[in-house]
Structure 1
Amino acid sequence: MRRDNLDLFQNLYPEEMLPTFNQRLQTVLPQRDQEGRHIFLFKAGDWDPTQCNLDDIFRANYLYLEEMTSTMETQVHGLVAIVDCQGLSFYHARSFTPKHAKRMVKIIQDSFPARFKEFHLVNQPYIFNLLFAVVKPFLEEKIRNRIQFHGSDLASLYRYINPEILPESLGGSLSLDDTFINKMLARNDHYKGTEAIDT
Structure 2
Amino acid sequence: MLRFEEIAFKAELNRDEDPESDRDAWLLCGEDPMNRKRAIEELRKMIYERGECHPHRTDDAYLLKFLRARRSVPARAHRLMVRYYNFRDENPHLWRDVDWLGLRRLGDIFEGVLFDRPDCGRFILCRLGQWDPDTIPVDDLIRGLLLLLEIGIMQPKLQILGGTAMVDCQGLTMKHIRQLTPAIAVQAMNIMGIIFPTHIRSMHIVNCSRIFETFFYLFKKLAPVDDLWKNVYFHGYDLNSLHRYVDPECLPRRYGGCRDPVSLELWLTKIRQYKNKEFDEEMRNLGYAVD
Change (3 A) 1:177 1:129: closer
Decide which moves more: 114-123 or 160-169.
Answer: 160-169
In the alignment, what sits opposite 1:16? Answer: 102
Letter in 1 for 2:140: D
Cα offsets for 1:150-184 (capped at 9, x unmatched):
11110111112222332222122333345532343
Q: Number of paired residues?
A: 195
1:1-199 mapped onto 2 (5 Å cutoff) = 1-20=87-106, 22=107, 24-33=108-117, 35=119, 37-137=121-221, 138-178=223-263, 180-186=267-273, 187=275, 189-190=280-281, 192-196=283-287
Q: Report the alpha carbon displacement of residue 190 of structure 1 after superposing the two structures with TM.
A: 4.2
Return the alpha-carbon distance in structure 2 between the equivalents of residues 190 and 130 of structure 1.
43
Letter in 2 for 1:146: N
Return the alpha-carbon distance in structure 2 between the equivalents of residues 85 and 154 of structure 1.
13
Letter in 2 for 1:193: R
Determine if contact 1:101/1:134 at 8 Å carries over to the other structure: no
SS at match of 1:2: helix
Q: Report the alpha carbon displacement of residue 36 of structure 1 after superposing the two structures with TM.
A: 5.3
Change (3 A) 1:76 1:193: same
Larger radius of gyration: 2
Determine if contact 1:44/1:84 at 8 Å carries over to the other structure: yes
What TM-score, normalized to structure 2?
0.61
Return the alpha-carbon distance in structure 2 between the equivalents of residues 105 and 177 of structure 1.
23
Cα offsets for 1:27-49 (capped at 9, x unmatched):
11111245251111111122111
Q: Aligned residues: percent identity?
A: 28
Return the alpha-carbon distance in structure 1 between the equivalents of residues 262 and 190 of structure 2.
30
What TM-score, normalized to structure 1?
0.87
Decide which moves more: 169-178 or 182-191.
Answer: 182-191
Return the alpha-carbon distance in structure 1 between the equivalents of residues 139 and 233 of structure 2.
25
SS at match of 2:119: coil
Change (3 A) 1:133 1:159: closer
Which runs of no fewer than 5 residues in structure 1 stay unpaired? none
Q: Going by fraction, where is helix more abundant, 1 or 2?
A: 2
Letter in 2 for 1:18: R
RMSD over aligned CA atoms reads 2.2
Determine if contact 1:93/1:131 at 8 Å carries over to the other structure: no
Return the alpha-carbon distance in structure 2 between the equivalents of residues 36 and 149 of structure 1.
17
Return the alpha-carbon distance in structure 2 between the equivalents of residues 39 and 66 of structure 1.
15
Change (3 A) 1:6 1:40: same
